[in-house]
Chains A and B, each alone.
With several copies, the nearest count.
Chain A
Amino acid sequence: MLELHNGALHVSEILARWCDEEARNNYGAYIPFVGTVRSEDSIDGLSFDIYEPILENWFSAWQFKAKEVGAIVKMAHSRGDVMLHESSYIAAVFSPKRRVALEMIDSFVEDFKASAPIWKYDLKGGNRIYAADRSTPIKNSGLLGKKS
């Protein structure tokens, strides 16, 4: 399940709801990853754009990959502005066994960072500035660039 919320995530509500949803499904390990906006570089917060069709395809591929090893993945992300100390991202793995869950939360979060079509902006003094220096080109980027 993939959920997109306008503004900050209600972390406790989401963690509890996911836990309840799977309470009877005999998973031995539940590992959520919660990403929270840090105070740094005098930002007031962050803001996010999401391209949903490709995010949904990316997430579906992960659901399939998880299912092959008896696990499931869930994810929530914010659209728009999220202020300091608020949370913008939760990913979670449920699995019968701990090793699968520990390895999958790591590879899921890292692939998310490298591939999910989400753009981050710093909110600073009323401006919304693309976080170019912290962004990663998706695999096979640059196809349309002039050959040197």
Chain B
Amino acid sequence: MVQVEFLGPISKEPMQLEASSLHDVAKVLNEDSELKTWLESAAVAVNDTLVSSLDVALKDGDKVSLLPPVCGG
């Protein structure tokens, strides 16, 4: 199981799901219509490192985070 966390303004509780890569995570999250806009604009981190591709293998206990558009300062 991997843990998926929604950061900042995405008001959604963390999810646990079976996934062996980010492609699997994408498949599951795209079934949730509430998430549609966020998926198009969010960056993705695996274990707190930002990634640039879905070709990232996941293992049990990994944490996937969704980071919507930012505005610090």
Contact = CB atoms under 8 A, between A and B. Distances in A.
Interface residues of A, number: 39
A112 B73 CA distance: 8
Contacts of A50: 72
A30 interface: no
Interface in A91-148: 98, 109, 112-121, 130-132, 134-146
SS class of chain A's interface: helix, strand, loop or mixed?
A: mixed
* Interface residue range, chain B: 20 to 34
22 contacts: A49-B7, A54-B48, A77-B72, A88-B73, A113-B72, A114-B70, A117-B67, A119-B7, A119-B71, A121-B9, A130-B8, A135-B69, A135-B71, A137-B43, A139-B50, A140-B50, A140-B52, A141-B41, A144-B66, A145-B39, A145-B41, A146-B39
Interface of B: 7-9, 22, 25-26, 29-30, 36, 39-45, 48-54, 65-73
